[in-house]
Structure 1
Amino acid sequence: MSGAAKRSFLAGLRWTSLRLRLLIVFALVALVAAVSASGIAYWLNREAVLTRTQDAALGDFRRQMQNRAASLPTQLTAAELRHAAEQMASSSPGYHVLLVGSHDGKPVVGSSDLDAFTAQDVPDSLRKQVSRKQPLKKGDSFEYHLFWQRTSIGGTPYLVAGTKIIGGGPTGYMLKSLDQERQDLNSLAWSLGIATALALIGSALLAQAAATTVLRPVQRLGDAARKLGEGKLDTRLVVSGTDELADLSRTFNRAAGSLEKKVADMSAREESSRRFVADMSHELRTPLTAITAVAEVLEDEADSLDPMIAPAVHLVVSETRRLNDLVENLMEVTRFDAGTARLVLDTVDVADQVTACVDARAWLDAVDLDAERGLMVRLDPRRLDVILANLIGNALKHGGSPVRVAVRADDDELTIEVRDHGPGVPEEVLPHVFDRFYKASASRPRSEGSGLGLSIAMENAHIHGGDITAFNSPDGDGAVFLLRLPRDAGRLLDAPADEDRDDDRDGPGDDANGKDGAK
């Protein structure tokens, strides 16, 4: 089973878990109720059937013993006892009779059917009870009582009873088959079992109907919540009824409406702020262009100016350039936030790109490059230049030279490692080095860069489908920034290749101060 199929199967199990629990609970309740009712009904019917059959047989046997056996002489032959037993059994069909008497001091036995009932069929415990004299109690004038016992002979249930005639008369035993009653009770048990099964099936159907009735609104609520989580804030539930689920649906609708309104308000404020930054940056461009031109003229004439004025001129020139970089970076940030930044893909040699980036900024003497020539990738070379300029410039500024840049690649991924030899980044600062305008120390709020360099580098990595991670070297020798990019960004991103470069300019691309105050 594939991973996707397995996840789908597990999701299905999660979806049906509540339904399954309802079915199981209904089935268990129905099973316990049906089994209890069937067990009680079977036990009551069994006792009623056996008691009725037993009482009828014992009552008739008692009368036969009182009317026939009591009138027999004390001395009888086996033939006479057999004849008397046959008469007793024939008068009340359904059981066999065994009479035990004496003749000339010897025991004599007569049975109504020697094949069906012999003396060996009488349990010893019953024979002892029948022969034992019972103490006379108030209201009881008989020394011998009628005793009975249920037994099994050859797998067939029987009722065996016996009593003795007072005054030396014969002792009589009765054998009554209970096989018909067993068959009737077995039929009753099958009927109750079928009724229990039908009750279980009915409870399952009822549970299914109840689960569907209860879970359908819950499922709709879950689907609506999922859509709401996916950003479809106009999702609403159709409310019907006045039960608890209807109240829950109304509460969901109110919460969704409130959330939609708040998100709309926040989006409007965010759009307004983004538009303000973009408009402000565009508006600042014109005066900055003029100021920059004047500053460059002043810089050219700085050596001929009054020594008291020259430092101020240099300061103005420096701050003008910094302000120009800040405006360009703000414009780029607004493009990322608005989602209008696009890739202009090209197939390039990574080693050439890194060399060109370092050479354009006069960093050749401060950077050690470990890159194999001929390593071709398809990406946006200008955005790669922005990433490298910020990472390498940041390492030079905060870690010091030499900065080592190592380029590696496999079939799918390009990795560029930028390592410095400085004191490293404090552990509490590492999670924030890519945050905009983050300052590691409140006592150093001002730096030469805009504070957006690493943030812009990260955004450029993300738009390629890549990422940048920052960590300290395990040997404690400086910080490491690891850039990961796909070798072919066109396969991962739907990037138009004919975008106008002038409409998506990154600015100077050399703001290497994103880690401002991080070291």
Structure 2
Amino acid sequence: MRGRPLLRGLRPRLILAFGALALITAVGTTAGSYFEARRVILKEVQDSVGIRVRDTLRELAPRLDQPLTDASLGLILGALNTPAGNDEVAVVHRGRVLEDIPGTVARVPAELREEVRRTGNLTFQRFNRDGRPFFAVGTTIAITRPVGDDIPPEVYVVVDMAAQQRNLATVGTTSVLIAAGALLLAVGLAVFFARQVLRPVRDLGTAARRMAEGDLTARLRPVGHDELADLAATFNRTAAALEDTLKELRDRESAARRFAADVSHELRTPVATMMAVADVLDVEAARAGGDLPVAARTVGEEARNLAGLVEELLEISRFDAGVAALTLNTVDLADAVRACLRTRGRKDTVRTDLRDGVVADVDPRRFGVIIGNLVGNAFRHGAPPVEVRLRADGADAVVEVADRGPGLPEGLGDRVFERFVKGDAARTRILGHSAGSGLGLALAWENTRLHGGTLTAGPNPGGGALFVLRLPLGGVR
């Protein structure tokens, strides 16, 4: 199972990206500033102490007595002492050690002393003792007039770096505080600019949702001349075109419905006349014999089909005009189903499983239309045996109509209840019989909706199609 993303939406991701960039920049800048300050401070100490020691000894060397006495060594010690007395100075010569602070030589690293003895050059080293930082300088004094095998004295200066370390700590703390402030400022700016940048996107989403809900008047207000403004203008043009197209389609649909209603009304009287003539023709053709009876029956059947189509179109036009109404009666639905099957000549060809005592407030005529159209559809497009089952389910009455035919075509689903929709393009008029107008299920659905019920279509577990009608027992909800 895939986990849900931690960051959903563009704004959190933009803020995170800005924050990460600001954090990286702040950390890099802080680290760079700290290490540069550290380098400058250490170099300043090294240069100042080194230059002072070198210049002092260079100036002092010609004035030293030869051979070197304790007084000469003391002169060196005094010359290197600073007025502030922050440095520790030690002079070592032939085993003699002069220190302004006892233990100074002991604090000098052995590596530094070895390097000074070996090279005699000015040598530096940083080290820590007891958790405190020190900086040591060591060198030898060049003897101007050596006596015999006299060796130059070693001079060491040890500087306590605690003050410099405190300065570095202050620099680090200040840098961190500045970086934190800059990070907070960057995040605040990121939130502000993300809101500004994404506002057109949010407006676009809101307008798109309004359009999805049916409000085709939704429009955006382009601001500026950037890509988002172009997107808003494109959306507005698309929405306007869609609104115009849908309006045109609705106008055409309305015109088509008015035309169908007008034609149905105009055909009603001629069709009634045709039905009367067909009945007379049946009687006369039976007397004449020959092929006339077959022809007369065909004409009569087609006239009845046409009359049924006209009645269905008229009924559909009533729903479109909003004038279809219910005449509710309290009805035993089992009796109503039996009466419907009997009226349509299906009493002996339909299997029934009807629970008695299921009583509901329905319009008997419209309920009969629903059942009759479902059963007729099962015989027309399915295959026997056709079953009708009735039961109560809570506050609903449930009627199921099942057949054993090929079932509903794949992908048709609830579109089967749309007008003039037929599940198979090959359903044509066969052997002189009509394959249906495509309005029967649409009328069944409209009458179900008028009752406040539902009508669904799906596969029958035993093969074929299954239509399930649910009506509230207490009348329209």
Q: Is the 8 A contact 1:83 1:112 kept in 2?
A: no
Distance 1:80 1:379, change over 3 A: farther
* Residue 155 (1) aligns with residue 139 (2): no
Q: State the 1:320 CA deviation.
A: 1.4
* Structure 1 stretch displaced more, 430-439 or 27-36: 430-439
Distance 1:96 1:260, change over 3 A: same
Distance 1:315 1:429, change over 3 A: farther
Q: State the 1:389 CA deviation.
A: 1.2
* Structure 1 stretch displaced more, 365-374 or 390-399: 390-399
- In the alignment, the residues of structure 2 paired with residue 393 and residue 309 of structure 1 have an alpha-carbon distance, to the nearest angstrom, of 29
Identical-residue share of aligned pairs (%): 37
User: Match for residue 443 of structure 2?
Assistant: 456
3-state SS of paired residue (1:364): coil
Q: Is the 8 A contact 1:19 1:211 kept in 2?
A: yes
Q: Which amino acid aligns with 2:127?
A: T
Cα-to-partner distance string for 1:462-508 (whole Å, 9 max, x where unaligned): 5544232232544xxx523231425358675xxxxxxxxxxxxxxxx
Q: Is the 8 A contact 1:471 1:481 kept in 2?
A: yes
- In the alignment, the residues of structure 1 paired with residue 293 and residue 336 of structure 2 have an alpha-carbon distance, to the nearest angstrom, of 38
**Pick aligned residue for 2:466 from 481, 496, 501:** 481
Q: State the 1:258 CA deviation.
A: 1.9
User: Match for residue 231 of structure 2?
Assistant: 248
Q: Is the 8 A contact 2:402 2:464 kept in 1?
A: yes
User: Match for residue 85 of structure 1?
Assistant: 77
Distance 1:171 1:373, change over 3 A: same
Distance 1:426 1:344, change over 3 A: closer
- In the alignment, the residues of structure 2 paired with residue 237 and residue 220 of structure 1 have an alpha-carbon distance, to the nearest angstrom, of 7
* Residue 267 (1) aligns with residue 250 (2): yes
**Pick aligned residue for 2:406 from 424, 447, 458:** 424
Q: Which amino acid aligns with 1:130?
A: V
Alignment RMSD: 3.3
Unaligned runs of 5+ in 2: 143-149
Q: Is the 8 A contact 1:89 1:96 kept in 2?
A: yes
Q: State the 1:145 CA deviation.
A: 0.3
User: Match for residue 25 of structure 1?
Assistant: 17
Q: Is the 8 A contact 2:412 2:423 kept in 1?
A: no
User: Match for residue 122 of structure 1?
Assistant: 108
Distance 1:412 1:56, change over 3 A: farther
Q: Which amino acid aligns with 1:424?
A: P
Q: Which amino acid aligns with 1:453?
A: G
Q: Is the 8 A contact 2:217 2:243 kept in 1?
A: yes
Q: State the 1:395 CA deviation.
A: 3.0
Q: Which amino acid aligns with 1:440?
A: D
User: Match for residue 145 of structure 2?
Assistant: none
Distance 1:181 1:395, change over 3 A: same
TM-score by length of 2: 0.83
- In the alignment, the residues of structure 1 paired with residue 471 and residue 123 of structure 2 have an alpha-carbon distance, to the nearest angstrom, of 98
**Pick aligned residue for 1:444 from 425, 428, 437:** 428
User: Match for residue 54 of structure 2?
Assistant: 62
Q: State the 1:278 CA deviation.
A: 0.8
Q: State the 1:87 CA deviation.
A: 5.6
Q: State the 1:307 CA deviation.
A: 5.0
Q: Which amino acid aligns with 1:390?
A: N
Cα-to-partner distance string for 1:185-237 (whole Å, 9 max, x where unaligned): 21122222222122222222322332233222332232222222322223333
- In the alignment, the residues of structure 2 paired with residue 60 and residue 175 of structure 1 have an alpha-carbon distance, to the nearest angstrom, of 13
3-state SS of paired residue (1:168): coil
Q: Is the 8 A contact 1:430 1:470 kept in 2?
A: no
- In the alignment, the residues of structure 1 paired with residue 152 and residue 476 of structure 2 have an alpha-carbon distance, to the nearest angstrom, of 113
3-state SS of paired residue (1:132): helix
Q: Which amino acid aligns with 1:51?
A: K
Q: Which amino acid aligns with 1:483?
A: V
- In the alignment, the residues of structure 1 paired with residue 335 and residue 264 of structure 2 have an alpha-carbon distance, to the nearest angstrom, of 33
3-state SS of paired residue (1:363): coil
Q: Is the 8 A contact 1:458 1:467 kept in 2?
A: yes
Q: Is the 8 A contact 2:207 2:218 kept in 1?
A: yes
Q: Is the 8 A contact 1:224 1:236 kept in 2?
A: yes
Distance 1:486 1:177, change over 3 A: farther
User: Match for residue 140 of structure 2?
Assistant: 164
**Pick aligned residue for 1:332 from 306, 311, 315:** 315
Q: Is the 8 A contact 1:417 1:481 kept in 2?
A: yes
Q: Is the 8 A contact 1:295 1:313 kept in 2?
A: yes
Q: Is the 8 A contact 1:358 1:364 kept in 2?
A: yes
How many residues matched?
A: 458
3-state SS of paired residue (1:241): coil
- In the alignment, the residues of structure 1 paired with residue 117 and residue 44 of structure 2 have an alpha-carbon distance, to the nearest angstrom, of 26
Q: Is the 8 A contact 1:419 1:481 kept in 2?
A: yes
- In the alignment, the residues of structure 2 paired with residue 491 and residue 171 of structure 1 have an alpha-carbon distance, to the nearest angstrom, of 114
- In the alignment, the residues of structure 1 paired with residue 357 and residue 74 of structure 2 have an alpha-carbon distance, to the nearest angstrom, of 122
* Structure 1 stretch displaced more, 22-31 or 60-69: 60-69
- In the alignment, the residues of structure 2 paired with residue 281 and residue 346 of structure 1 have an alpha-carbon distance, to the nearest angstrom, of 29
User: Match for residue 146 of structure 2?
Assistant: none
Distance 1:210 1:430, change over 3 A: closer
